[in-house]
Structure 1
């Protein structure tokens, strides 16, 4: 379970250390207090995509860490498989986001990647929020619910592997089946392009060498004058040179060294200097002898660079890209001119893959329809408990051509009133009904995995009264078997919490600060009264809050069927 969440410099939260416990943890607070920041922070530390915009204004970086305890064996095994063995059964994830947009991730204090955080995080927490509701409203996402509930993702991946092979063969076969006129035109173009590049005889690094040689030739006079001056100073062609003077210095230091400590060492060091300067003089002389002023060579270089420039305009911005284009064009030319034998081979391969993909798709369809029936049955049972006694659920199914997700179009249909035929959710369900359907689906799907923590972000949107109470009771029931964290704006839901935390905003000076405070029993009464009655808390609202807490904590009976 998630035992502690630490947040620093994320949006309106300057610093917060939040202790969480088993059972149902509820978060409440006024609109804009920072409840969404809490969810963003958890998403960030689980490796999800984030942005530097979450960093608190005026700060250089943001940090989120999450401590998990009581980890099951499968999570411990996954951590060890990923290279992060956990000896004490605890796991600390952390992520730091900088103003440059880069993030630093750690697992158990050791450097990691966001991808590793995501892989581990997926086995630790499931977050259910507004994005899930959007998926519920999008018919093309419903097939994902069925695959997840039926544990069909492995079967889907097997099909997708064959389907990718089929697409590759179809693409290759299509490129070989151009009509003759188009094929002839394409062959002519490719042959011209390949020939033009081959004729140029390109060589990696050539352009840099030509540019360097061009600079030398264009500045040959300056180079020669400089080298001649250096050589003259060192050798003394026009008089006593630096090397000859240095010989005198070396001799003088040597004589003094016979009588004075240290000067013998100075003489040796001066001799080393003399050797180095002599080497400079020899290098300057050799360079002067090799220096040539050949205008014809400069013209040749200019022409060669012009050839490279023209090729880069056509085939790529560098010699490497031009050669890559040549290789790709050669491959395409070879593909277009495939022999009849190769075409026949591709046709046979395509037919075999189509048959295999269709067989796997048929098996996937059967498994999906079976899983969809069970999903409808179990979700309906959950919805009856959530004050939707007359609900009817079914999946519409239409078979289509093979695609990346198989051959199935599946859409969840619902009827909330007796005698009405099931219709698409988006057309007939209210906001409150959609929230309950989402909660029911997530609860049913959660029973198929072993994730220890479920987070519900305002799953009670659009709900009130009795239905809200049923949602609170349902969350309490789910929390008997795993940790549940719920961000809510309803007193009926918050009353069922085993642990109640308040997200509170305050303004100090010209800055906004958000604090997360665990509430005592008395403070819980006041917070529920605030939610019920607004800013003006009355004795009646306090009494209602106390009664609500008493009823929620005293309920022992199962949910109504």
Structure 2
């Protein structure tokens, strides 16, 4: 619960230490004394947005510190999860707002974000202000109120697990179907790559190996042709060798008469023998050069096919191999998408059936909760001086959402004989306050939030209705710490802890002080609320009597 609030330099509050009891705490004071500032301070320490305007004029910063004790197991578990100590089941939450607009948040002197204060604060305090009555005017919020009253979210949680799985399945199925046309086109492209490159069964570096082998083979063919041509020139028709023989014959008969011709004749004979020997060796060499015409043709064809693909896909041999490997892998994935679509479609149908059945069970559960809800709230409204008011729950089936198939709207009939109509159409401000109090009352024991704050819950009510509100707040105070800001004596007399917010002039400045009232202080304040400033003795006696009467209720 909220044990104590320390405030410094918050608007007109210079400094205040505010002790709070575990049951019904009532704040009263004149209009403009600073009751709203107190609520703003609590909101600030709970991580709500605040502005530099709330810093007291002339001060560097405002400081609000709240001490929480008797922490629930849920809060302790959250603090443990965040690594925040909570010795003796206590923590302090602090918010400092600088005049320049910055702010610093702390939990147990450890710096924290405003978001973290908000997260922890939501487990500690539930604040109901006049604007919260708008929840009653918004039918979208009614389903949550009904579920809060029901108190058992087992069916809802099970439904949401299935519903979210259905959403994910449907989303994935939609994505795959949307991709189907591009997938078909991509599959066609991949199959072309696989057919083109796969047919060649390439190896890494094969193109370089083939180029070398092809060049060697092509050179062998040229070598053989050159040798054969050379042999032909030496030994063929009109060959060099025959010419040498003819030349030798021409000068043979003249060698006896000319010594010089003998030498030339001998040289011609030697040349003839040398050429014949050369021709013989060339023929022997030609036989030794290997030539496989079929291999050369194969090499040329394969190199041509590889080079065509290299040009087509603008890459080298290694790139073709990678392209083929990647295409094979991707085509398997694309083919698996077909089977995934079939599996997802079947799963979607299965989940749709399951979630529909769960939604029906949830609807039936809420139907029973709605009956109990109307009975309880009607009883509370009768107690709050709204006898004859009929509240009903319009509960219908709609489309499947994360909250089920239910649409819920609260209806009310304020006058006997009239059909219940939407609350937003007929409820007054005072009626909204009492209806909200009735709702808070029936769900007070359904959650673990230890502190409830009501800011002017008495708006638009007076007399006996106000007294009933006070009694109801005290009743809630038996199971929750209640903090209430009021301007009605009928509510103020119900306080277990009564605090006065009072504006005073100190020097040249206005200051707001917060004082815990004893019996005589309470009598004086109640009398002021009932009859204004400077109450008479009779008014004081009436105030004392009202306080005593309230204590006996």
Q: TM-score scaled by structure 1?
A: 0.65
**Cα pair distance change 1:363/1:83, threshold 3 Å:** farther
Contact 2:413-2:420 at 8 Å conserved across structures: yes
Question: Deviation at 1:145?
Answer: 0.4
Distance 1:477 1:356 in 2: 43
Distance 1:154 1:126 in 2: 23
In the alignment, which residue of structure 1 is the partner of 2:467? 469
**Cα pair distance change 1:49/1:344, threshold 3 Å:** farther
Structure 1, 93-102 or 360-369: larger mean CA deviation: 93-102
How far does the alpha carbon of each residue in 1:437-471 deviate from its partner, in whole angstroms, 9 at most, with x for none?
11111011111123332211111111100111111
**Cα pair distance change 1:179/1:20, threshold 3 Å:** closer
Distance 2:463 2:87 in 1: 48
In the alignment, which residue of structure 1 is the partner of 2:485? 487
Question: Deviation at 1:81?
Answer: 3.9
- Equivalent residue of 2:470, what SS? helix
**Cα pair distance change 1:152/1:536, threshold 3 Å:** same
Contact 1:176-1:336 at 8 Å conserved across structures: no
In the alignment, which residue of structure 2 is the partner of 1:365? 363
User: Is 1:120 the equivalent of 2:125?
Assistant: no
- Equivalent residue of 1:88, what SS? helix
- Equivalent residue of 2:89, what SS? coil
In the alignment, which residue of structure 2 is the partner of 1:149? 149
- Equivalent residue of 1:446, what SS? coil
In the alignment, which residue of structure 1 is the partner of 2:417? 419
Q: 2:442 aligns with which of 438, 444, 450?
A: 444
Contact 1:25-1:499 at 8 Å conserved across structures: yes
Structure 1, 427-436 or 84-93: larger mean CA deviation: 84-93
Alignment of 1:10-409 (within 5 A): 10-99=10-99, 101-153=101-153, 155-175=155-175, 177=177, 340-409=338-407
Question: Deviation at 1:167?
Answer: 3.4
- Equivalent residue of 1:149, what SS? helix
Q: TM-score scaled by structure 2?
A: 0.66
Question: Deviation at 1:161?
Answer: 4.0
- Equivalent residue of 1:373, what SS? helix
Runs in 1 of length 4+ with deviation above 6 angstroms? 335-338
Contact 2:444-2:479 at 8 Å conserved across structures: no
**Cα pair distance change 1:481/1:353, threshold 3 Å:** closer
Distance 2:398 2:89 in 1: 48
5+ unaligned residues in a row in structure 1: which ranges?
192-334, 557-561
Question: Deviation at 1:11?
Answer: 2.9
Distance 1:350 1:72 in 2: 41
Contact 1:2-1:67 at 8 Å conserved across structures: yes
Question: Deviation at 1:489?
Answer: 1.1
In the alignment, which residue of structure 2 is the partner of 1:237? none
Distance 2:9 2:154 in 1: 40
How far does the alpha carbon of each residue in 1:366-420 deviate from its partner, in whole angstroms, 9 at most, with x for none?
2222222222222222222212232322210121111232211101112233333
In the alignment, which residue of structure 2 is the partner of 1:541? 539
CA RMSD of aligned residues (A): 3.2
Structure 1, 136-145 or 81-90: larger mean CA deviation: 81-90
**Cα pair distance change 1:179/1:471, threshold 3 Å:** same
Structure 1, 521-530 or 151-160: larger mean CA deviation: 151-160
Q: Across the two proteins, how many residue pairs are aligned to each other?
A: 409
In the alignment, which residue of structure 1 is the partner of 2:495? 497
Q: 1:516 aligns with which of 501, 514, 517?
A: 514
**Cα pair distance change 1:152/1:512, threshold 3 Å:** farther
